[in-house]
C-alpha cells in the first residue's frame, strides 16, 4: 500500500426492530459518524455502503446514491458492496482499498439492513439463496449446517454441549452493557438448554436474531487523520478469502478455510501473531461459529476452543475478550451492518470509549462471515 | 497509487436473449477471460462481480462465491459491486483499487445480468426502484426522464430530432460488425422516426434493449503484466461521482454533473485532455444520453454535440469514433455487464483486436451511468 489507513470516526444505530427504512437507517449512522468525527460532508471523496439485499427485503435499489444525496456528499463517488452476511467486512476492505490506492482521501463506509418487517418465509428464502440451490432444496439452510457442524464438533472433540451455551451466556452478558444492543438481557446456561430446538443440537438461544440497524466508519490516510484528531486507529492488516460454495464439498466441516486464509493474510500484513491480539469481535451468528473461528484464527488449538469458553479466557476479564459488544448473538445481526459494527466496537475499545464494556486493548481483530463461511474477511486494528 | 494498473485480458459473452442463468453467464465470460490471457486460476487473488440485481431478477444471491467456486479460484477473495446500471464501471474502479492498493496482484472482474426471463412489470419495477420513490409514483421512470430531457435539449439548442435518430443509426451500423452484439441489423433514420413513441419525442429505436450477458477484464500491476504478455493496456485515469438522487432537483436537466466530475477527475489523473482520446464508449441507454455525455466530457461544447453526429465526427471513420462496439443501443445492456463490456471494447481497440470495427487508437475512454446519471464512472486506458 501507498499509505497507512486510519479510522477516525464510527457510529452505530440502535439495533433491533426499528420503525425506519434502510435509507433512513443508513443516513442515521452516516450522519452521526460525520458529526462525531467533526468532518464536514464536503471532504468526503467516496461513500460506500455495505448491504446485501435492500432490493429483496424492501424493493429499493440505488440506496448508495440516496445516501450520498441525503448526507449532502455530492459529488462523492458512491457504490454498494455485497458479500452476503460479510458485506460489512467486505465494505471495510473496500474502504481500506479506496484509501490505500490513493483513489480517496476520505471514505465514509455505512452498512445496514432492514429485515424485521419481512415474514419468515421471505427472509428465509432470501438468506437461503446465499447457499447452493441443490443444498437448499434438500433443506440444508444455514441453521441446519450449524446444527450438523455442532454435532460433529461435539462428537469429534468430546466437547461439552454446555460450552456452546456459555458462548451465548457470555455474549448476552456483554450485551447488557451495550446501549445499542438488540437484547440487553442476562441469560444462563439453562435458558439456552431449555429453549426450543432449532437444528439439533442447537436451540433457539444458540442463534442470533433477525435485526434492523446500521453502522458506520470513517477512513482516511494516517497523514490526514492527524489533521482531525490525536486519537484514531490504524488498520494494520486486512484480507478476505473464500471457501467452497457447496458446503458439503468441504473436506472437514469443522475447519473454516476462508477464515484461516483471511486471518493468516491479515496477521502477515500486520506483522503480528494471534498472541498479539487483545480483543476480538467474531461472527457468532450461531454459537458454534465462535469456537470454529477461534480455532481457524489460531486463538486456540483445533478442538480446544470450547475449553477456553469453559475457563473464562474469552470473557471481559479474561486474557482474550471476545465479542465485548454482545456479538451478533445479543447485539443483533442486520446483515450489511454487522461487519462494520464489529469494527466500531474494536475502534471504541482501542480508543477507550467502550464505557462499561471497556477492556485493556492496544490491538483488536474482527472476523466477518458470509454464508456458512463461504467467504470471510478479517481486519486487525491498532490504537494510535 | 503505488503501482500502474494494467489490463491483460478480456472477454464477453454473446449479449441478447440467453438460455443461461446469471451463474452460468458469469462463469462463461470469466473462464474465457482467464483462458485467453493464459493466466492460471491459482494466480487470482481477488474476484469481483458487477451485478445489480441477481436476487431481484432470479432469486439468487451469493453469486460472487458461486463464481469463485465454479472457476476454481478458491481461496481468492470475492465480492459483488453494485452501482445500478453503472455496476460495471464501478467494478472497474474497484478492481483498479484492489491492484493499486497492493491488496491483490491479480483481480478478475466479471459483470453480468440475466433479465430477459422477467415480465415487463417486474423488470420495470426493479429498474425504477433505482430512482426516488416520490418520482416513480408520479410515473417518472428512466425512459420518461429521457423523453423530458430530450425535449428540453432539442428546444434549447435548436437541435435536429434526426440527430438523435442518427446516434441509433451509427451504433446499429457498428453493431453489425460485432459478433457479440444483440442486434446486428442496420437501420436508417426512418426506422427510428417511424417506430412507436415511448416517451415523446423518443421512440422505440432511441432505447437500448433488455438483455442477458456478461463480460470480464483481468487486472494486475504493470510489472506483473509483463510476465504474461507484451500487449496490454494501462488504466491511466479512473474516477466516479454522483449527482442528485432526485432528478428534478438538478438545476439544469441537460447537464450531467456526475459525468463532468468523473471525467475531469479521470483526465487530471491521466494528465490528458479530451483531445487526446482516440475512441470512446459512452452509455447510450437512450440516444439523448450519448449527446449529453459528449458535452459533459468536453468532447463537444454545450449544445453542439448533435452537430458532431450530423457531420460524422463520431462515426468509425471520424475523428472521435464513439460506441464502435455498437453501444448499449445495439450490443445490448445487461446492466452489470455493460461498463465492463465498454472496457473490453476499448481494450480490443487499443490492442488492434477489434476486427471489422478496428479504428486507429492509442488512448480510449469509457463512461458508464447509473440511474439517470445519478452516478457515473469514467476510465481512460492507454495501449502499451
Asked whether residue B124 is domain-assigned, the answer is no
**Closest CB to A62 among B61, B96, B371:** B371
> Mean pLDDT throughout A40-59?
96
The whole-number pLDDT of residue A124 equals: 83
> Mean pLDDT throughout A218-228?
97
Asked whether residue A126 is domain-assigned, the answer is no
**How many Cβ contacts (< 8 angstroms) between chains A and B?**
214
Asked whether residue B334 is domain-assigned, the answer is yes
The whole-number pLDDT of residue A133 equals: 84
Report the length, in residues, of chain A.
384
Asked if the Cβ–Cβ distance from B80 to A75 is below 8 Å, we say: no
Q: Is A91 on the interface with B (CB under 8 A)?
A: no
Q: For B89, which residue in chain A has the nearest alpha carbon? A: A79
Asked whether residue B87 is domain-assigned, the answer is yes
Same domain, B141 and B94: no
For chain B, give the percent of residues with pLDDT over 90: 94
**Closest CB to A1 among B70, B77, B101:** B101
Same domain, B241 and B372: yes
Asked whether residue B126 is domain-assigned, the answer is no
Indicate the range of A101-110, B84-93, B112-121 predicted with least confidence: B112-121
Asked if the Cβ–Cβ distance from A241 to B100 is below 8 Å, we say: no
Instruction: Identify the CA nearest to A236 among candidates A326, A71, A346.
Output: A346
Asked whether residue B123 is domain-assigned, the answer is no
The residue from A219, A234, A249 where one domain ends is A234
Same domain, B89 and B199: no
Write out pLDDT tens, residues B334-372.
Answer: 999 999 999 999 999 999 999 999 999 999 999 999 999
- With a cut of 80, say whether residue A2 has pLDDT above it: no
Chain A contacts in chain B segment 205-244 (CB below 8 A): 238-244
Domain span at A185: 131-209+238-383
Same domain, B205 and B221: no
Q: 487508437: which residue's cell?
A: B361
Q: Is B42 on the interface with A (CB under 8 A)?
A: no
Instruction: Identify the CA nearest to A218 among candidates A354, A104, A87.
Output: A104
For chain A, give the percent of residues with pLDDT over 90: 93
Indicate the range of A271-280, B134-143, B327-336 predicted with least confidence: B134-143
B249: Cβ–Cβ under 8 A, 6 or more apart, which residues? none
Same domain, A228 and A323: no
**Chain A interface, mutation test: which of B64, B65, B94, B237, most A Cβ atoms within 10 Å?**
B65
Chain B contacts in chain A segment 110-149 (CB below 8 A): 125-126, 129-133
With contacts defined as CB-CB under 8 Å, which chain A residues touch B52?
61
Asked whether residue A174 is domain-assigned, the answer is yes
Same domain, B243 and B288: yes
The whole-number pLDDT of residue B121 equals: 80
A379: Cβ–Cβ under 8 A, 6 or more apart, which residues? A89, A92, A93, A96, A235, A237, A238, A266, A343, A365, A366
| Alpha-carbon span A225 to A45, nearest angstrom | 15
Q: Is A42 on the interface with B (CB under 8 A)?
A: no
With contacts defined as CB-CB under 8 Å, which chain B residues touch A370?
62, 65
DSSP letter string, A300-358: S-TTTHHHHHHTTTTSTTSSS-B-TT-HHHHH---HHHHHHHHHHHHHHHHTT--GGG-
- With a cut of 70, say whether residue B1 has pLDDT above it: no
Same domain, B228 and B308: no
**Closest CB to B61 among A2, A73, A130:** A130
| Alpha-carbon span B169 to A25, nearest angstrom | 46
Same domain, B161 and B271: yes
Same domain, A65 and A94: yes
Q: Is A107 on the interface with B (CB under 8 A)?
A: no
- Number of domains observed in the structure of chain A: 2
Same domain, A160 and A43: no
Asked whether residue A124 is domain-assigned, the answer is no
The whole-number pLDDT of residue A33 equals: 98
The whole-number pLDDT of residue B137 equals: 84
Instruction: Identify the CA nearest to A80 among candidates A70, A275, A68, A72.
Output: A68
Same domain, A113 and A31: yes
Same domain, A215 and A202: no
> Mean pLDDT throughout A64-90?
97
Mean of per-residue pLDDT scores for chain A: 96
Give the ipTM of the model, two decimals please.
Answer: 0.97
> What CATH number should be reported for the domain holding residue A13?
3.40.47.10
Q: What is the pTM of this model?
A: 0.98
Q: How confident is the model at residue A166 (pLDDT cuts 50, 70, 90)?
A: very high
Amino acid at each position: 500500500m501507498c499509505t497507512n489507513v486510519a479510522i477516525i470516526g464510527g457510529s452505530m444505530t440502535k439495533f433491533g426492530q426499528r420503525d425506519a427504512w434502510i435509507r433512513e437507517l443508513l443516513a442515521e449512522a452516516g450522519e452521526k459518524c460525520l458529526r462525531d468525527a467533526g468532518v464536514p460532508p464536503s471532504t468526503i471523496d467516496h461513500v460506500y455502503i455495505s448491504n446485501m439485499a435492500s432490493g429483496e427485503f424492501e424493493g429499493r435499489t440505488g440506496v448508495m446514491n440516496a445516501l450520498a444525496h441525503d448526507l449532502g456528499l455530492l459529488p462523492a463517488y458512491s457504490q454498494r458492496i455485497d458479500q452476503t452476511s460479510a458485506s460489512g467486512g467486505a465494505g471495510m476492505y473496500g474502504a481500506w482499498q479506496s484509501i490505500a490506492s490513493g483513489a480517496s482521501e476520505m471514505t465514509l463506509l455505512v452498512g445496514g439492513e432492514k429485515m424485521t418487517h419481512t415474514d419468515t418465509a421471505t427472509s428465509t428464502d432470501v438468506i437461503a439463496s446465499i447457499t447452493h440451490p441443490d443444498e437448499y432444496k434438500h433443506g440444508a439452510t444455514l441453521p441446519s449446517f450449524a446444527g450438523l457442524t455442532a454435532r460433529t464438533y461435539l462428537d469429534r472433540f468430546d466437547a461439552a454441549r454446555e460450552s456452546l451455551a456459555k458462548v451465548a451466556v457470555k455474549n448476552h452478558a456483554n450485551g447488557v452493557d451495550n446501549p445499542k444492543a438488540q437484547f440487553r438481557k442476562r441469560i444462563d446456561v439453562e435458558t439456552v438448554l431449555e429453549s426450543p430446538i432449532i437444528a439439533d443440537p442447537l436451540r433457539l438461544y444458540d442463534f442470533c436474531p433477525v435485526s434492523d440497524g446500521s453502522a458506520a466508519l470513517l477512513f482516511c490516510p494516517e497523514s490526514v487523520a492527524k489533521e482531525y484528531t490525536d486519537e484514531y486507529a490504524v488498520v494494520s492488516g486486512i484480507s478476505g478469502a473464500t471457501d467452497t460454495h457447496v458446503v458439503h464439498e468441504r473436506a472437514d466441516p469443522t475447519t473454516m478455510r476462508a477464515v484461516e486464509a483471511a486471518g493468516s493474510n491479515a496477521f502477515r500484513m500486520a506483522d503480528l501473531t494471534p498472541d498479539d491480539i487483545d480483543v476480538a469481535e467474531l461472527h457468532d451468528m450461531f454459537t458454534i461459529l465462535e469456537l470454529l473461528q477461534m480455532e481457524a484464527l489460531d486463538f486456540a488449538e483445533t478442538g480446544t476452543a470450547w475449553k477456553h469458553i469453559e475457563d473464562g479466557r474469552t470473557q471481559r476479564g479474561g486474557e482474550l475478550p471476545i465479542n465485548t459488544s454482545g456479538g451478533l448473538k445479543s447485539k443483533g445481526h442486520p446483515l450489511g451492518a454487522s461487519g462494520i459494527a464489529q469494527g466500531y466496537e474494536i475502534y471504541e475499545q482501542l480508543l477507550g470509549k467502550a464505557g462499561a464494556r471497556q477492556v485493556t486493548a492496544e490491538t483488536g481483530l474482527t472476523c466477518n462471515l458470509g454464508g456458512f463461511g463461504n467467504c470471510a474477511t478479517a481486519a486487525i486494528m491498532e490504537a494510535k
